[in-house]
């Protein structure tokens, strides 16, 4: 469906009398029900919907998935929990034509995020799009423009932005009590991720529209290793742990340090845990980012979980007076020892007991609530595309440094690499016909 066709549908819908048409053209009112459609229902898309349905004014009116087996299963779950049978679609463009839908959740593999988000904005829908915001740096820029041009509320699913203990930790970092922060470390050690065994290509499973699943990605024979959850480990669709967990954790570094763009990035790693399995992306990776007055270090590993500070994941802000470590369980301070004449004289900052995350307020429910609140107020949500893109871009920068095997120098104003054609070639994806990278 062409962009002009989508615009026609949107403006035609707004001209039709009735509640549905009015809701497309104005902010949702307190008395309105907000109708949600979900595109990509297998994993986080359905988790996001489950969180949204905890909000009384939200209904699920439509589900879309290229796997009819998943679609039937999720539709039954929605009907059981809400007593509403959602409309079912195999093509997201048909869902976007549905005038009853106010907003969509995009929970597809990463390579679809940009095209679907732009089309949804063009169709007059607000959008909750999963992280990473896009599968390339150029797509991130396109999505920022689309949200602005079509005046849509767009929330990126970096839900730690809405977790109270994350906010408290960032307030402490910003207070200056750690002293001058020289280094920030972020890491994800994933013991629960096994090797992906090599399996042969096979016929497309019954009920799966595989050509639609591929969409703008390169044409390939069906292989279950690339399908559903494991898409994360293949460059055509995603960026491995760097863009999966890295986006969440690098986001906290950038938030805490109030920065957007590094000056240079270097990255090494490889398939050291499972050298012969089917994954393309590195199972072990380190990246160093140079900013003006501090450095950031990212590292990930699969098959093990004892990361820095004996945590499987986290962020450590290393200051002259102490270190703050935060993860999904809470945050903790480690004061530096104060020495005089080689003897301990106490600590450079006061100690305090660890802060535990509240089980009912870990972030996702607060993030979806913020999205709904902003749909009604038309204010910007906590993780709008301009915010969400920063973490995605930095994660992609680390991967581009790894894939080129170069130390790369980044110009945050022009959004290009200085003097590196190999790296610049990885900024923009090549879409498979008939799909075209959106222009806004």
164 pLDDT band (50/70/90 cuts)?
very high
What is the Cα–Cα distance from 218 to 385, expressed in whole angstroms?
A: 26
CA nearest 135: which of 437, 401, 420, 386? Answer: 437
Task: Write out pLDDT tens, residues 168-206.
Answer: 999 999 999 999 999 999 999 999 999 999 999 999 999
Mean pLDDT confidence for 354-378: 95
Tokens representing 87 are 């409309």
**Neighbour tally for 293: CB within 10 Å:** 9
Residue 432 pLDDT > 70: yes
**What's the pLDDT score for residue 362?**
86
**What's the pLDDT score for residue 339?**
84
What is the Cα–Cα distance from 162 to 251, expressed in whole angstroms?
A: 12
Domain(s) of CATH 3.40.50.720: residues in the chain: 3-161+367-384
Domain 3-161+367-384 adopts which CATH fold? Rossmann fold (3.40.50)
Task: Write out pLDDT tens, residues 314-340.
Answer: 999 999 999 999 999 999 999 999 887
Q: Which residues contact 95 (CB under 8 A, 6 or more apart)?
A: 37, 39, 62, 64, 87, 89, 101, 104
**DSSP category for residue 200:** -
**What's the pLDDT score for residue 21?**
33
Kindly tell me the number of DSSP H helices and DSSP E strands found in the chain.
13, 18
Domain 164-358+390-424 adopts which CATH fold? Dihydrodipicolinate Reductase; domain 2 (3.30.360)
Tokens representing 426 are 């990885």
Task: Write out pLDDT tens, residues 90-112.
Answer: 999 999 999 999 999 999 999 99
**What's the pLDDT score for residue 28?**
47
Domain(s) of CATH 3.30.360.10: residues in the chain: 164-358+390-424
Task: Write out pLDDT tens, residues 30-70.
Answer: 447 999 999 999 999 999 999 999 999 999 999 999 999 99
Mean pLDDT confidence for 201-225: 97
Mean pLDDT confidence for 345-363: 90
Question: What end-to-end distance do the CA atoms of the chain give, in Å?
Answer: 16
How far, in whole angstroms, is CA 334 from its chain's centroid? 30
14 pLDDT band (50/70/90 cuts)?
very low
Residue whose pair of structure tokens reads 């994933």 in the numeric block: 190
pTM recorded for the entire structure: 0.91
Residue 26 pLDDT > 50: no
Task: Write out pLDDT tens, residues 395-421.
Answer: 999 999 999 999 999 999 999 999 999
Residues of the chain by 3-state class (helix, strand, coil), percent to 5: 35, 20, 40
Mean pLDDT confidence for 224-228: 94
Q: Are strands 126-129 and 154-156 parallel, antiparallel or unpaired?
A: parallel
What is the Cα–Cα distance from 95 to 295, expressed in whole angstroms?
A: 45
Secondary element (H or E) of residue 364: helix 364-377
What is the Cα–Cα distance from 402 to 285, expressed in whole angstroms?
A: 8
- Give the sign of the dihedral formed by CA 356, CA 360, CA 366, CA 368: positive
**What's the pLDDT score for residue 347?**
85
> Rounded to the nearest 10 degrees, how much is the dihedral formed by the CA atoms of 218, 224, 226, 229?
140
What is the Cα–Cα distance from 253 to 352, expressed in whole angstroms?
A: 22
Residue 20 pLDDT > 90: no
**What's the pLDDT score for residue 7?**
40
Main-chain phi, psi angles of 125, to 5 degrees: -100, 145
The mean pLDDT of the chain is 92
**What's the pLDDT score for residue 10?**
43
């Amino acid at each position: 469906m062409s962009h002009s066709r989508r615009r026609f549908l949107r403006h035609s819908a707004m001209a039709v009398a009735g509640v549905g048409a009015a809701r497309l053209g104005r902010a949702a009112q307190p008395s309105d029900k907000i109708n949600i459609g979900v595109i990509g229902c297998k994993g986080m898309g359905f988790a996001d919907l489950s969180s949204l349905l905890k909000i009384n004014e939200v209904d699920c009116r439509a589900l879309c998935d290229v796997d009819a087996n998943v679609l039937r299963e999720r539709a039954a779950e929605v009907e059981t929990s809400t007593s509403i049978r959602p409309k079912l679609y195999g093509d997201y463009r048909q869902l976007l034509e549905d005038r009853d839908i106010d907003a969509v959740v995009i929970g597809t593999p990463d390579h679809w995020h940009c095209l679907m988000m732009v089309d949804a904005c063009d169709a007059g829908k607000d959008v909750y799009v999963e992280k990473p915001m896009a599968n390339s740096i150029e797509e991130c820029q396109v999505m920022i423009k689309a949200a602005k041009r079509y005046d849509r509320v767009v929330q990126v699913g970096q839900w730690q932005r809405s977790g109270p203990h994350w906010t408290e930790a960032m307030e402490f970092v910003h207070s200056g009590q750690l002293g001058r922060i020289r280094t920030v470390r972020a890491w994800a050690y994933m013991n629960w991720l096994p090797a992906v065994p090599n399996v042969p290509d096979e016929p497309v499973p019954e009920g799966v529209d595989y050509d639609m699943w591929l969409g703008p990605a390169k044409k390939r024979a069906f292989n279950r290793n690339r399908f559903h959850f494991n898409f994360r480990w293949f460059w055509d669709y995603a960026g491995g742990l760097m863009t999966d967990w890295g986006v969440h954790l690098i986001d906290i570094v950038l938030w805490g340090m109030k920065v957007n763009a590094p000056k240079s990035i270097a990255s090494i790693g490889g398939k050291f845990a499972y050298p012969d399995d089917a994954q393309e992306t590195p199972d072990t990776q380190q990246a160093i980012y140079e900013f003006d007055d501090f450095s950031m270090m990212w590292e990930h590993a699969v098959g093990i979980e004892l990361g820095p500070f004996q945590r499987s994941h986290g962020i450590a802000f290393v200051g002259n007076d102490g270190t703050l470590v935060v993860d999904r369980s809470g945050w903790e301070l480690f004061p530096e020892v104060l020495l005089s004449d080689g003897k301990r004289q106490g600590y450079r900052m006061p100690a305090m007991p660890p802060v535990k995350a509240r089980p009912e307020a870990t972030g996702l429910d607060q993030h979806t609530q913020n999205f709904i609140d902003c749909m009604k107020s038309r204010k910007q949500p906590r993780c709008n595309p301009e915010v969400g893109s920063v973490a995605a871009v930095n994660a992609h920068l680390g991967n581009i440094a790894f894939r080129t095997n170069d130390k790369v120098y980044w110009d945050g104003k022009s959004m290009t690499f200085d003097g590196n054609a190999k790296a610049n070639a990885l900024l923009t994806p090549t879409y498979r016909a008939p799909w075209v990278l959106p222009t806004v």
